[in-house]
């Protein structure tokens, strides 16, 4: 499937070629609003702090934080000195303002049961009650440079200044003349004033049905029922569902659906039929020997039948007998009939035959209903969810405001092979961090954890979220933790003692014997605190134990959370609500998620404040300075000649410089050279055939098991093997090292491109510097602005090359390794199916013959190289288009200012025609430059502290 290639700017509907940012971590600090440092994914795992176990008081000090002890901060910290504060969610909103809220919206946050927006600034009746409710907007963001309070404040001021410039320009009739310079400046002012976090980072939540993924996402979002859980009768967890923030193309509560294309639908139908027939064809199922695999085959057959009946309800021909038909050509006849039924159903699905369906629902309840329509299994209608590739929900939320995308992914053990391939591809290509969700009671034995870990890339940050942390038993705890039994009994005894005192007080009051000074309310407060202390101690003790066990020998961060506690306790009075929110672990999970996009967003903000924003302000100033120099006719003519020479240099070099213009073609040739120079197809085929000959020596049951499981399986006789990887052993040995070298060479082109840009701008600046006497004020401003244009262009091209590098790395992994979503898995899939469908006498020999013929005559390596060449061609073509667009846009801005330095002979400049506006804009730009100077100073401090 093709993607659009973007330089740091996320395409609305299609994931960009983004790269995985470094993993992020937080220190466990006793202050709920001060998290710790950011570390890489290979940092030391969280371990319990033994010093805090010695006393009840010590153990209670950190109860408002996530389980575990403080980490040792890395030298490269989050970039904030101890005295600096981070912004709140609300302040982040203010620096990047939202469009006006539609009064029809009804966002049901956890703050109330009757609706209301969790990102609204509205005030009104009940203000005193609102003060007693926990507000997400007041929650402090984690300590990352982009959330620095000073930076967010100055970013908001810069954007406000740009909006002010746009407003002043909008008020002039000149800005409405399409061919005027002011009109172009006005459009740029509007665009820049809307600067938003331009890049996204995706956090994928994945786990088996019932693990609590949907509840975790709803808690992190702080919105009730936003994502439907599988136990509510929805099939939504069989489909990847993304939560994104709104943008210009997607108003709040937009639901966008991408349906599968024809190839994906065909593959899905093949897998459904294959899964059904695997169990309902006697000869095939009889060969399955292991109890574990038998159970898996039965479950997959049951799910396949359920899915097929959901898709083709109303077709009486769909029966067990129809799907299990034997004989020559039966399998193909079944698939052809299912394909015809599928094509006939497209006209009645939401969006009709279009591959993408988008609807603006307007409010949360309507959004839920629309998702339910798309994901339910209706009793009297057709289900659409099996053919849905991805669902995107666009929500206006402070949690998503910084470019964070939350993805609800189905667990692999709940899927057929087609869905496994699609989900794994999303996991590897799109998720910057992966959160495995599991219930805390079974997390140590949950087989989904090693399964998902195996499917992630080696450098992909992996986290574990253990749900239901509130499920502890005070009576059993002393047995479970004998070394803490005394402390647990003391805490429990305190609770029981206070309960007895309260009962006695009530009895004395009923009898009229209550003593003066007996304060029942004080006792109830003490009891509530004592219960919290006991519950906290038990939960934190168990959380630390689980964390220690999960992280032993693993570089994995663990979060123990309670969705129930967060939901039920957050609306209590502030002191107790604050404690339970901290104990629930949801706040720390949410804060951690905010760190995932933080580094990329800081780079984007830094680039904006050092490039496009100051360059534009200088451009406006350039417009006001057109008549600042007293220029004679003779000097004007000389100046035009100089400016023409500069324009020739800029156009000739930026638009047609051979190194810059031909970079995409050189990249293409370099990568193609890796394939052609090392093309040893015959040797690769022989290597694959040698591997198949080894498999042919196995027991027939092992061979059949590997065929049934698409070449990846584990038996006692041969261990865990991946046939796809073994088929690729020859090509991987020849291509991996030269491909890595070429990737390094591609990334090094950043320096080459930067030197080209620097040389071009230096040449133009030198020409102008030699002639500043012709118009000193205007030319000096233009020369100063050259630095900002150079910075802006270099940053854009750097990001493009980085994204190209990471996209090409993904192609390399999908080419040289045999995971389920790899290229070779798709090429080997037909022979696995062919082998699995055969059974009976002589089937073992026939299967080996099928495999040998496929490897010997199937042209899998020419096909593989064709896929790689096609993927690279598409990638580099998109890069070339973006390179051209970026250069042309920047060059257009430069030439606009250059040509405006001196008006055409006999014409008045725009500034001269509108002197009042010029004066107003001059004052505005002076103020904007001062603000940008402050921004640069703040950025410098933050960068120095990193």
3-state secondary structure 847-859: HHHHHHHHHHHCC
Which run of H or of E encompasses 642?
Answer: helix 633-650
Domain ranges of the chain: 239-427, 628-908
DSSP 98-157: PPPPPTT----BTT-SS---TT-----TTHHHHTTS--GGGSBPPS-GGGBHHHHHHHHH
Instruction: Report the range of poorest mean pLDDT among 253-262, 392-401, 510-519, 838-847.
Output: 510-519
One DSSP character per residue, 877-911 reads HHHHHHHHHHHHHHHHHHHHHHHTSSPPTT---HH
pLDDT band at residue 2, thresholds of 50, 70 and 90? Answer: very low
Residue 328 confidence (pLDDT): 85
What sign has the CA pseudo-torsion 722, 241, 213, 33?
positive
Q: For residue 538, which of 67, 26, 27 has the smallest C-alpha distance?
A: 67
Is residue 94's pLDDT more than 90?
Answer: no
Residue 391, φ and ψ in degrees, nearest 5 = -115, 135
Residues 537, 533: Cα–Cα separation, whole Å: 6
Instruction: Quote the CA–CA distance of 403 and 605 in Å, as a whole number.
Output: 12
Q: What is the structure's pLDDT at 518? A: 63
Q: Looking at the predicted structure, is the pLDDT value of residue 54 above 80?
A: no
- pLDDT at position 904 is 82
What token pair was written down for 552?
Answer: 């032993």
| pLDDT for res 657 | 62
Angle between helices 262-280 and 291-311 (to 10 degrees): 130
Compute the distance between CA of residue 801 and CA of residue 784 in angstroms, rounded to an integer: 27
Note whether 618 and 790 are within 8 A (CB): no
Alpha-carbon dihedral 461, 462, 465, 466, rounded to 10 degrees: -150
pLDDT for the residue numbered 38: 33
Give the residue, 805 or 631, on which the prediction is more confident: 805
The mean pLDDT of 427-443, rounded to a whole number, is 96
Predicted confidence at residue 379, as pLDDT, reads 76
Q: Residue 252: helix, strand or coil by DSSP?
A: coil
User: Which string of b and e fits 124-146 if b means at least 16 CB within 10 Å?
Assistant: eeeeeeeeebbbbbebbbbbbbb
Q: Sheet containing 557-560: which strands, arranged edge to edge?
A: 356-360, 254-259, 388-395, 240-245, 404-410, 201-207, 433-439, 462-467, 557-560
Digit-coded pLDDT (tens) for 739-779: 999 999 998 889 989 999 999 999 999 999 999 999 999 99
Q: What angle do CA 412, 416, 422 make, to 5 degrees?
A: 65
Q: What is the mean pLDDT of residues 694-707?
A: 94
The DSSP secondary structure of 330-383, one letter per residue, reads: HHHHHHHHHHHHHHHHGGGSTTTT-SEEEEE--SHHHHHHHHHHHHB--SSS--
pLDDT mean over 375-390:
87
Token pair 């123990």 is at which residue? Answer: 560
pLDDT at 237 over 80: no
pLDDT confidence band for 4 (50 / 70 / 90): very low
- pLDDT higher for 378 or 183? 183
CA dihedral 506, 512, 517, 523 (to 10 degrees): 0
What's the pTM? Answer: 0.86
pLDDT at 125: 36
Yes or no: say if 182 and 900 are a contact pair by the CB < 8 Å rule: no
Residue 342: C-alpha distances to residues 61, 312, 574, 640 (Å): 60, 8, 55, 67
Residue in the block written with tokens 């004989």: 327
Q: Which residues contact 143 (CB under 8 A, 6 or more apart)?
A: 34, 35, 36, 37, 78, 80, 86
- 437 — phi, psi (to 5°)? -100, 130
In the numeric block, the tokens 């390596």 are attached to 861
pLDDT at 204: 97
Q: Is the pLDDT of residue 53 over 60?
A: no
pLDDT at 844: 93
| 717 in Cβ contact with 702 (< 8 Å) | yes
**pLDDT (0 to 100) of residue 213:** 93
Top-confidence range, 511-525, 551-565, 573-587, 723-737? 723-737
Q: How does strand 462-467 pair with strand 557-560? A: parallel
Checking if the pLDDT of 828 tops 80, the result is yes
| Half-sphere exposure (Cβ direction) of 266: Cα atoms closer than 13 Å | 7
Concatenate the DSSP letters of all residues of 6-73 into one string: -SSPPPSSS-----PPPP------SSTT-------TTSPPP---GGGGS-HHHHHTTTTS-SSPPPPP
Query: Degrees (nearest 5) of the Cα angle 116, 118, 124?
Result: 55
Q: Quick one: pLDDT band at residue 230, thresholds 50, 70, 90?
A: low
60 neighbors 533 (Cβ within 8 angstroms): yes
Least confident of 241-250, 430-439, 454-463, 474-483: 474-483
Q: What is the pLDDT of residue 111?
A: 54
User: How high is the pLDDT of residue 108?
Assistant: 55
Contact 672, 684 (CB under 8 A): no
Q: Tokens 């998620």 — which residue?
A: 593
CA distance 875 to 806: 11
Question: CA 588, 590, 591: angle at the middle one, nearest 5?
Answer: 65
Report d(CA 805, CA 746) in Å as an integer.
Answer: 7
- The model's confidence at residue 382, banded by pLDDT at 50, 70 and 90, is confident
C-alpha dist (Å) from residue 605 to 20, 96, 285, 857: 18, 11, 59, 54
Residues forming beta bridges with residue 306, ordered by sequence position? none
Question: How far out from the chain centre does Cα 443 lie?
Answer: 25
Beta bridge partners, 557, equal 463
pLDDT (tens digit per residue) in 390-412: 999 999 999 999 999 999 999 99
pLDDT band at 944, cuts 50/70/90?
Answer: confident
**Could you tell me which of 235, 208, 373 has the C-alpha nearest to residue 303?**
235
- Looking at residue 135, its pLDDT comes to 85
Helix axes 681-696, 700-708, angle to 10 degrees: 130
End-to-end CA distance of the chain: 39
The pLDDT > 90 percentage for the chain reads 63
Whether residue 676 has pLDDT greater than 70: yes
Q: What is the pLDDT of residue 600?
A: 93
Residue bearing tokens 């093949």? 270
Mean pLDDT of 131-136: 70
Query: Counting beta carbons within 10 angstroms of the beta carbon of residue 754, is it exposed (0 to 12), middle (13 to 18) or buried (19 or more)?
Result: middle
Tell me the CA distances in angstroms from 483 to 55, 135, 683, 895, one per residue in order. Answer: 12, 39, 63, 76
d(Cα 794, Cα 773) in Å, to the nearest integer?
A: 30
Mean pLDDT of the chain: 84
> What are the tokens at 815?
């080419």
The pLDDT confidence band at residue 480, using thresholds 50, 70 and 90, is confident
What average pLDDT score do residues 75-91 get? 55
DSSP 86: B
Backbone Cα Rg of the chain = 32
Structure tokens at 78: 């989050």
**Residues 5 and 878: beta-carbon distance below 8 Å:** yes
Contact 665, 715 (CB under 8 A): no
Structure tokens at 9: 């700017």
Instruction: Tell me how crowded residue 891 is: count the other CB atoms within 10 A of its CB.
Output: 18
Q: Which pLDDT score, from 0 to 100, does residue 946 have?
A: 66
Per-residue pLDDT band at 905 (split at 50, 70, 90)? confident
The first and second tokens of residue 751, run together, are 């320096």
Say which residues have a Cβ less than 8 Å from residue 127's Cβ, sequence separation at least 6: none
């Amino acid at each position: 499937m093709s993607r659009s290639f973007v330089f740091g700017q996320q395409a609305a509907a299609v994931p960009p070629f983004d790269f995985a940012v470094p993993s992020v971590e937080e220190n466990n600090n006793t202050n709920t609003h001060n998290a710790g440092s950011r570390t890489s994914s290979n940092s030391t795992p969280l371990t319990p702090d033994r010093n805090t176990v010695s006393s009840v008081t010590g153990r209670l000090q950190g109860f408002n934080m996530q389980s575990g002890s403080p980490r040792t901060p890395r030298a490269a910290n989050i970039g904030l000195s101890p005295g600096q504060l981070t912004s709140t969610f609300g302040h982040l909103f203010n620096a990047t303002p939202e469009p006006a809220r539609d009064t029809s919206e009804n966002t049901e946050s956890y703050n109330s049961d009757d609706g209301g927006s969790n990102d609204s600034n509205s005030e009104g009746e009940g203000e005193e009650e609102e003060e007693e409710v926990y507000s997400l907007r007041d929650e402090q963001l984690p300590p990352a440079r982009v959330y620095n309070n000073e930076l967010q404040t100055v970013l908001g001021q810069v954007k406000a200044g740009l909006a002010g410039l746009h407003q002043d320009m909008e008020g002039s009739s000149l800005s409405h003349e399409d061919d005027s310079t002011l009109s172009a400046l006005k459009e740029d002012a509007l665009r820049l004033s809307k600067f938003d976090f331009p890049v996204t980072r995706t956090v994928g939540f994945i786990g088996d049905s019932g693990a609590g993924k949907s509840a975790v996402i709803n808690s992190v979002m702080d919105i009730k029922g936003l994502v439907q859980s599988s136990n509510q009768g929805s099939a939504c967890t069989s489909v990847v569902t993304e939560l994104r923030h709104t943008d210009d193309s997607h108003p709040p509560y937009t639901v966008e659906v991408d349906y599968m294309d024809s190839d994906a639908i065909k593959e899905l139908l093949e897998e459904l039929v294959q899964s059904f027939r695997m169990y309902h064809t006697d000869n095939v199922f009889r060969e399955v020997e292991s109890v574990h695999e038998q159970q898996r085959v039965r479950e997959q057959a049951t799910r396949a039948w359920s899915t097929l009946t959901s898709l083709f309800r109303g077709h009486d021909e769909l029966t067990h007998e129809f799907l299990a038909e034997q004989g020559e050509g039966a399998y193909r006849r079944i698939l052809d009939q299912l394909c015809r039924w599928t094509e006939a159903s497209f006209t009645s699905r939401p969006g009709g035959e279009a591959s993408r369906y988008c609807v603006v629902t307007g409010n949360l309840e309507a959004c839920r209903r629309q998702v339910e329509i798309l994901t339910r299994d209706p009793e009297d209608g057709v289900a659409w969810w099996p053919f849905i590739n991805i669902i995107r929900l666009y929500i206006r939320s402070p949690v998503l405001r910084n470019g964070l995308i939350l993805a609800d992914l189905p667990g692999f053990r709940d899927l057929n092979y087609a869905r496994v391939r699609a989900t794994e591809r999303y996991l590897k290509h799109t998720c910057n961090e992966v959160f495995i969700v599991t219930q805390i009671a079974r997390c140590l034995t949950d087989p989904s954890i090693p399964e998902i870990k195996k499917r992630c890339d080696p450098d992909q940050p992996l986290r574990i979220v253990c749900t239901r942390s509130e499920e502890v038993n005070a009576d059993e705890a002393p047995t479970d933790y004998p070394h803490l039994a005394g402390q647990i009994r003391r805490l429990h005894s305190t609770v029981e003692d206070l309960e007895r005192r309260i009962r006695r007080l009530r009895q004395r009051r009923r009898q009229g014997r209550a003593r003066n000074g007996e304060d029942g309310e004080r006792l109830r407060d003490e009891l509530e605190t004592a219960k919290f202390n006991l519950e906290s101690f038990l939960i934190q003790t168990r959380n630390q134990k689980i964390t220690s066990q999960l992280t032993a020998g693993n570089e994995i961060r663990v979060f123990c959370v309670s969705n129930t506690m967060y939901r039920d306790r957050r609306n209590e009075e502030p002191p107790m609500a604050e404690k339970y929110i901290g104990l629930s672990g949801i706040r720390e999970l949410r804060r951690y998620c905010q760190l995932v996009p933080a580094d990329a967003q800081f780079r984007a903000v830094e680039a904006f404040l050092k490039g496009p924003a100051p360059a534009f302000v200088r451009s406006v100033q350039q417009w006001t300075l057109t008549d600042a120099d007293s220029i004679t006719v003779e000097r004007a003519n000389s100046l035009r000649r100089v400016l023409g020479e500069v324009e020739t240099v800029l156009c000739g070099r930026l638009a047609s410089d051979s190194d810059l213009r031909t970079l995409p073609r050189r990249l293409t040739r370099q990568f193609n050279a890796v394939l052609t120079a090392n093309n040893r197809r015959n040797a690769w085929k022989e290597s694959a055939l040698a591997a198949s000959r080894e498999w042919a020596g196995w027991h027939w049951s092992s061979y059949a098991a590997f065929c049934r499981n698409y070449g990846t399986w584990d038996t006692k006789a041969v261990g865990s093997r991946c046939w796809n990887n073994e088929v690729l052993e020859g090509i991987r040995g020849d291509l991996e090292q030269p491909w890595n070298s070429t990737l390094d060479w591609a990334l090094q082109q950043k320096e080459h491109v930067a030197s080209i840009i620097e040389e071009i701008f230096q040449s133009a600046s030198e020409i102008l510097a030699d002639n500043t006497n012709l118009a000193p004020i205007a030319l000096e401003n233009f020369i100063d602005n050259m630095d900002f244009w150079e910075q802006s262009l270099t940053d854009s091209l750097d990001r493009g090359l980085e994204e190209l590098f990471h996209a090409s790395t993904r192609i390399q992994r999908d080419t040289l390794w045999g995971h389920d979503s790899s290229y070779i898995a798709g090429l080997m899939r037909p022979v696995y199916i062919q082998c699995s469908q055969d059974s009976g006498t002589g089937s073992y020999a026939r299967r080996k013959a099928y495999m040998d013929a496929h490897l010997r005559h199937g042209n899998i390596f020419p096909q593989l190289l064709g896929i790689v060449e096609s993927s690279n061609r598409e990638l580099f073509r998109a890069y070339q288009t973006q390179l051209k667009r970026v250069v042309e846009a920047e060059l257009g801005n430069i030439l606009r200012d250059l040509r405006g330095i001196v008006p055409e002979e006999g014409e008045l400049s725009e500034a001269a025609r509108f002197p009042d506006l010029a004066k107003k804009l001059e004052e505005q730009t002076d103020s904007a430059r001062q603000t940008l100077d402050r921004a640069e100073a703040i950025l410098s401090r933050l960068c120095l502290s990193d």
